[in-house]
Amino acid sequence: MYSKAFKIFYFSIGIVTLLYQNCYSQTIQKENASFLTPEILIGKTLEANTDFPETNLQKNLFLSLGCYNFKPDKEWAARLNYPITGISFGYTDFGNTENIGHAYSILPFIEVSILKRQIDGLNLHLALGSSYMDTQYNIATNGFNKAITTKFNWSFRSFLYYDVAKTKTIDWRFGLGLLHHSNGHSKLPNQGLNSLLASISAK
């Protein structure tokens, strides 16, 4: 089931990326450019409580739409060293379908270049949004998962990205970071779900 879904996702992203490059990348300047970033992430769902259900490898697919902010009339962008901004759409398989399930996320983000003089191509990515979780804590049927109690939750992403290779139209990137889901204690128990992840993406 998931293998077929992944193949469809990759095929769709490939088509969209090719169309995007052919239609736009040769006709616009970076100052006004937008971009598309498909991303594959793998990692580990950390234990939220004692006797937390066992998990296999966590798998994520993210698609980000963003834009550069190099226009000189944007004072806020100049003060933040011209960050890139956008929105990410994500799918997460936490590695235990029955007890922890999946998340479907929407995350507005901002990304800034850091340590540019020392490490060119290193960026800090911060995102805050929300997620729909299809599996929650239930005292009778899922009592060992005290991480998530509500269907809708806050989600946060903090990543470091490094540009490992660049062409005229694509930046290939490697990332390391943290993904967090929590309902902000609107309903208990709420231990939250934390994940450590590595990613490969093409911006």
Select from 90, 98, 3, 91 the least CA-distant residue to 55.
Answer: 98
Select from 38, 36, 53, 37 the least CA-distant residue to 8.
Answer: 38
Does residue 117 carry a pLDDT above 60? yes
Give CA–CA dist 92/75, Å, rounded.
36
Does residue 39 carry a pLDDT above 80? yes
Q: Could you tell me the domains of the chain?
A: 30-202 (2.40.160.20)
pLDDT score recorded for residue 13: 53
pLDDT score recorded for residue 33: 80
Beta carbons of 100 and 125 less than 8 angstroms apart: no
Does residue 129 carry a pLDDT above 50? yes
Instruction: Report in angstroms the alpha-carbon separations of 61 from 51, 102, 106.
Output: 28, 12, 12
Q: For a pLDDT cut of 70, what percent of the chain falls above it?
A: 84
Give CA–CA dist 159/127, Å, rounded.
9
Span 64-113, pLDDT tens digits: 999 988 777 777 777 777 789 999 999 999 999 999 999 999 999 999 98
In the chain, the amino acid numbered 92 is T
More confident residue, 30 or 169: 169
Beta carbons of 67 and 203 less than 8 angstroms apart: no
Does residue 45 carry a pLDDT above 90? yes
List the structure tokens of 136.
């929650």
The whole-model pTM stands at 0.79
Q: Mapping DSSP to helix (H, G, I), strand (E, B) and coil, where does residue 142 land?
A: strand
Kindly state the DSSP code that residue 95 receives in the 8-state scheme.
S
H helices present in the chain, as ranges: 2-20, 75-79
Select from 103, 102, 111, 95 the least CA-distant residue to 155.
Answer: 103
Span 148-192, pLDDT tens digits: 999 999 999 999 999 999 888 899 999 999 999 999 888 989 899
